[in-house]
Structure 1
Amino acid sequence: MAKGFDCATPLTAAAAKAFYADGYEFVARYLVPSGWKMLSKAEAELISKAGLQIVSVYETTADRALGGRAAGLSDGITAMQTARSIGQPEGSTIYFAVDFDATAAQMPAVIDYIRAASEITPGYNTGVYGSYSVVEAVSQAGACSRFWQTYAWSQGKQSSVMNIYQYQNDITVNGIGIDLNRSFGNEGWWNTLEYMLSPEDANKMIAFLGAGYMATEYADARAEFHRLANELRKASGQPET
């Protein structure tokens, strides 16, 4: 499980480093083509250099998903173009926000919106941000493959399919207003760094280090095995443990 946050405020290099020093592993930022809250290529690069992973979320207005399929196709094209322009690699995820308390009557339009966005963004995984009922409905419809649930409007329920969970809103950390999140794997986060080592090869080497870790009883040796394993994880774009 990884510790993260989302925010509308663009991060400076100093802020990104401060969050990393505080133990945060990822930040969710707005993948929109314009406006004060947009994630720029320069910001993505400084976030990556600070050691944080990025989660992309597309949102213009809170209830945009009520536009259904036509809105999903339009937003999907814009999101994909924006992702490419700032260096978001294919294979990562673009989340589309359903940032309101969607009713059962509104759910067909929401599903159509997410499904259309997914269809029009080849190369990227598609996710949805929303309440428990939104995540469950979109998941059951097979409209996308990644799920970011907010506690808002969820009545204490947590979906078993969620990759990210937003559990607290509107706090201030390092001088910036943020919401708190935790992730559970397969989130589709990304960064702009280029890695020479594939995750598959890194994990093979980590397995050998794990054998050495288990074979020794010396604390200093175990600490070094753990450190080296985390260096391999970082070098291959994987979160530390």
Structure 2
Amino acid sequence: MAATTKGIDCAVPLTAEKAKKMSEAGMRFVCRYLVPASMAWKRLTRPEAEAITAAGMKIVSVFQRGTKDVAGGAVNGTRDGKAAYQEAKLIGQPEGTAIYFAVDYDAQPKDFAAIEAYLRAAARELPGYFVGVYGSYAVVEEMARRGACSHFWQTYAWSKGRLSHAANLRQYKNGQELAGHSVDFNDGLGNEGWWDTNPRPMDRFVDIEAAKKVIHHLGTLWLASSDKQVQEAAHFAANALRDVAGIPRP
């Protein structure tokens, strides 16, 4: 297995002092909640994001109201996507990074269609950002298979010891204490979609002309395939690339 990056997630905001202590303890990223002001007790703010960055750590954004909002399908996805976009812009989360949406229960196959609809609806409200899902092995595997989103944060809960090859993050131990703060421990597995508040050297990560060529090839794939899932994945990837490169969607 490739080397992993150690990090934590937590509900209660971090002070600058605690962020520094966590960094000194070897943590390299913090997963925090991108939620509306009505949930201030766990809401990530710009000052906290700056404190995490100053401590030398990255930030992973996750949106969650309740445990089963994703079961509400596209209606809830649209609502939460809009709210996440507003918060991301408010705190200065740069485009080209990810926002994860939580499936914080033991979702069953009967729930998967609603979860997919939720994620796709949220993505439509988040131009410029990648959409990810937090959930069990089954959720990660199924949403990856369906091409419902691009980033995956797997929890050990409900996963029966399995780890998806699609996972970008892995939550492996809950209810711990670090620097006097209640945390869950996580591993970064690559392409996590995290960010920080440091100035970026350029506005876009993707060359527009190169992006157009890739989008053209994805269109060719869409036309050539008779597999609906392949077509959906190609369509999703093309729109995600358009968003990152600043190319308007058709």
- What TM-score results when the alignment is normalised by the length of structure 1? 0.80
- The 5 A counterparts of 1:71-82 are 71-82=76-87
Give the letter for the 2:160 counterpart: Q
Task: For residue 78 of structure 1, give the secondary structure of its aligned residue in structure 2.
Answer: helix
- Displacement of 1:107 in angstroms is 1.2
Distance 2:194 2:42 in 1: 19
The equivalent of 2:245 in structure 1 is none
SS at match of 1:16: helix
Aligned match of 1:55: 60
Stretches of structure 2 lacking an aligned partner (at least 5 in a row): 206-250
Larger Rg: 1
Say whether the 8 Å CA contact 1:107–1:134 is kept in structure 2: yes
- The residue identity in structure 2 corresponding to 1:137 is E
- 1:75 alignment partner, SS class: helix
Give the drift of 1:196: 4.4
Q: Report what 2:199 is aligned to.
A: 194
DSSP-derived class of the 1:96 partner: strand
Kindly provide the CA deviation profile for residues 45-69 of structure 1, in whole angstroms up to 9, marking residues without a partner as x: 1111111100000000000001101
Residue in 2 that maps onto 1:159: 164
Alpha-carbon distance, 1:179 to partner:
0.4
**Residue identity matched to 2:171:** Q
Which one of the candidate residues 130, 135, 138 is aligned to 1:130? Answer: 135
Following the alignment from structure 1 to structure 2, what is the Cα–Cα distance between the partners of residues 196 and 142? 31
Q: Measure the CA separation in 1 of the matches of 2:148 and 2:111.
A: 15
Q: Return 5+ residue gaps in structure 1 as ranges.
A: 201-241
Matches within 5 A, 1:19-38: 19-34=22-37, 35=39, 36-38=41-43
Q: Secondary structure at the residue paired with 1:137?
A: helix
- Residue 153 of structure 2 corresponds to 148
Q: Among 139, 147, 161, which residue is 2:144 paired with?
A: 139
Give 1:147-226 correspondences, 5 Å limit.
147-196=152-201
Q: Distance in 1 between matches of 2:176 and 2:5?
A: 19
Alignment partner, residue 17 of structure 1? 20
> 2: CA distance between counterparts of 1:172 and 1:144?
32
Displacement of 1:119 in angstroms is 2.1
Q: 1:94 aligns with which of 76, 96, 99?
A: 99
| Aligned residue number for residue 90 of structure 2 | 85
State the percentage of identical aligned residues: 50
SS of the aligned residue for 1:45 comes to helix
Give 3-state SS (helix, strand or coil) of 1:76's partner.
helix
